[in-house]
Amino acid sequence: MDVLIVTIGTRGDVQPYVALGEGMSRAGHDVTVCTSLRYKPLIVGRGLGYGALSDDLVALVETPEGRGAIAGAGGAISGVKALLGILRRSIQIQRELFRDGWAAAREADPDVIVYHPKMAIALHYAERLGVPAAMASLFPVFLPTRAYPHPGLPKLQLGDRLTAAYNRATHHLVHAIVRAVCRWLFVPWRTAHGLPPHAWGTGVVHRSDGSRVPILNGWSPHVAPDPPDWPPRGVQTTGYWFLDRPDDWTPPAALTAFLEDGPPPVYVGFGSMAGRHPERTTCIVLEALRRAGMRGILASGWGGLNARHLPASVYLCDQVPHDWLFPRVAAVVHHGGAGTTAAGLRAGRPTIVCPFFGDQPFWGRRVHDLGAGPPPIPQKHFTAERLACALRTATERPAIRTRAEEVGEQIRRENGVASAVTFTERLADR
């Protein structure tokens, strides 16, 4: 079976799909992962085929305007303006991605396509090629439910019936916006490639005939169980898709020495969520560690945390595999990206989520609801005092440490990649 996997975004949007591709390759299938050029070494290094997408969209997020949009996504007026500007600039980039992705799809000539929601155009590639497709998501983005609001919108307590109605309405609101935007984006491509306008509007979760697209959920049902009002068929929550470190990877000697030189430190990293003032973020983190009396490992990440002068109790690292590092720390502090949340929980470590936007508040709430960490600290409330308090809570309360270990054991017993491979094989057979 020839499999095409299409994704775009930060490393957190790519790495799980590489893990999925690696699992399909081990099962005997030929796999092409189509994504930004910057991830080609990662994909080729894992023995997978590579399909090229422009790097422009990811690079746009790295600009000062992009960081301002991320920092302001929580509601600041200047940030919202920056976000709208980024969206306008991304439209032309999106059309170029459609072209690049189609070229990769024709080259791969797949029997089945698996796509990230951000590259929903791949569903239309599948229709043009006459092959099945499945949407593979890292958070519940297109599955309406009364159990919780859409991950991109706030949680409200309005009484049981009103809260349930509000929750479901948030999903339908997001879907209505997505339908309008996707129809505007996708219809020109469909027309240019001999396909009729998409009757169901979105072309994300419905095929042209109105039938639902199969959905793979790449997270653990122990962390976010399927609500009872989801569709009974065509949706599978498989467990996380972990891409573990290469067998020949070795840690930096300085990092190993730091870990051995005292009690387990706290990991702090915000991935690509640098915000507009990473220096301020660094100062807050350092002060919180000082107040809590704890050692720390700061991940510089993708333009994120940085510090010119660090105390001996803090180690600054670039990229270290989470599956190696997290079992060696006392707790993990991060932005709440799906992948980092998964890695911290898998390691059985208490987790403190400091969300910016998108699905990050959702995962922060899930961690707290599970009992594996204190309440999340939104970035607009991110202070040294709050972080120090959360650090003490996460590391000193036995109930949190015990619950985090229990969740880690549950996740480690799963094999999300194998379940997703089986799901995809059955889809191709049908």
- Digit-coded pLDDT (tens) for 300-339: 864 555 566 789 999 998 889 999 999 999 999 999 999 9
Query: CA 25 → CA 15, 31, 110, distances in Å?
Result: 15, 6, 14
Highest-scoring range by mean pLDDT, 44-53, 156-165, 188-197: 44-53
Domains of the chain: 2-240+414-429 (3.40.50.2000), 253-412 (3.40.50.2000)
Q: What is the pLDDT of residue 84?
A: 55
**pLDDT at residue 56 greater than cutoff 60:** yes
Kindly provide the residue ranges of all beta strands, DSSP E only, lying in 270-392, ordered along the sequence.
296-299, 314-317, 331-334, 351-353
Sign for the CA dihedral angle at 375, 337, 238, 98 comes to positive
Q: What average pLDDT does this structure show over 364-393? A: 96
Chain segment 152-180, per-residue pLDDT in tens: 888 888 888 999 999 999 999 998 888 88
32, 115 in Cβ contact below 8 A? no
Query: Of 11-20, 185-194, 404-413, which range is least confident?
Result: 185-194
32, containing H or E segment? strand 30-36
Chain segment 235-264, per-residue pLDDT in tens: 999 999 999 999 889 999 999 999 999 999
Pairing of strands 215-217, 30-36: unpaired
Nearest one of 113, 126, 102 to 3, comparing CA atoms: 113
Chain segment 276-298, per-residue pLDDT in tens: 667 788 889 999 999 999 999 99
Q: What is the pLDDT of residue 77?
A: 45
365, 153 in Cβ contact below 8 A? no
Q: What is the pLDDT of residue 293?
A: 96
Strand, coil or helix: 270:
coil
Instruction: Provide the token pair at 146.
Output: 């009364």
Q: What is the pLDDT of residue 356?
A: 87
Q: Which 3-state string (H, E, C) describes 211-246? A: CECCEEECCCCCCCCCCCCCCCCCEEECCCCCCCCC
Alpha-helical (H) ranges within 333-383 are 338-346, 360-370
CA distance 213 to 332: 36
pTM of this structure: 0.92
Whole-number mean pLDDT of the chain?
90
Chain segment 106-128, per-residue pLDDT in tens: 999 999 999 999 999 999 999 99
144, 121 in Cβ contact below 8 A? no
